[in-house]
């Protein structure tokens, strides 16, 4: 009876540890995404873009030190319809310590397959 009780407690503890590991992994992804978004926002605002909206964030296990971010930049000038001009932009980021650095600008996409292709260096 005591041996059965110990096994039950051990299995419950193992499940609890597993769930904690998943929570930490998810939190790590969210912090990487937030850090990448901040990098792109700072990059664009330092170039005079007043409005930045992050549209997509993507990482690929084949390229662990890179990320793809797409953003919509809203400029101060108006389009022919009298609305603020918007520009769709894509970025390849590379790891820089604990954060990210813009490596280059690239095509805009919200699709994971296309983002993966862009991360691989293909057009």
Distance CA 4, CA 6 (A): 5
Residue 1 has pLDDT above 60, yes or no: no
Name the token pair of 108. 């805009």
pTM of this structure: 0.73
- Please tell us whether the domain made up of 32-119 is placed in CATH 1.10.287: no
39: its two tokens = 């990098």
The per-residue pLDDT for range 59-109, each reduced to its tens digit, is 999 999 999 999 999 998 888 888 899 999 999 999 998 899 999 999 999
Range 35-64 burial, b when 16+ CB lie within 10 A, else e: bbbebbbebbeeeebeebebebbbbbeeee
Show me where the domains of the chain are located: 32-119
């Amino acid at each position: 009876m005591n041996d059965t009780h110990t096994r039950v407690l051990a299995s419950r503890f193992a499940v609890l540890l597993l769930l904690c590991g998943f929570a930490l992994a998810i939190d790590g992804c969210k912090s990487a995404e937030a850090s990448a978004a901040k990098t792109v926002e700072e990059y664009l605002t330092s170039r005079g873009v007043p409005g930045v909206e992050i549209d997509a964030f993507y990482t690929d296990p084949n390229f662990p030190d890179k990320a793809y971010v797409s953003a919509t930049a809203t400029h101060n000038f108006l389009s022919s319809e009298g609305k603020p001009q918007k520009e769709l932009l894509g970025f390849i980021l590379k790891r820089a310590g604990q954060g990210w650095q813009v490596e280059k600008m690239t095509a805009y996409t919200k699709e994971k397959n296309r983002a993966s292709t862009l991360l691989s260096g293909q057009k």
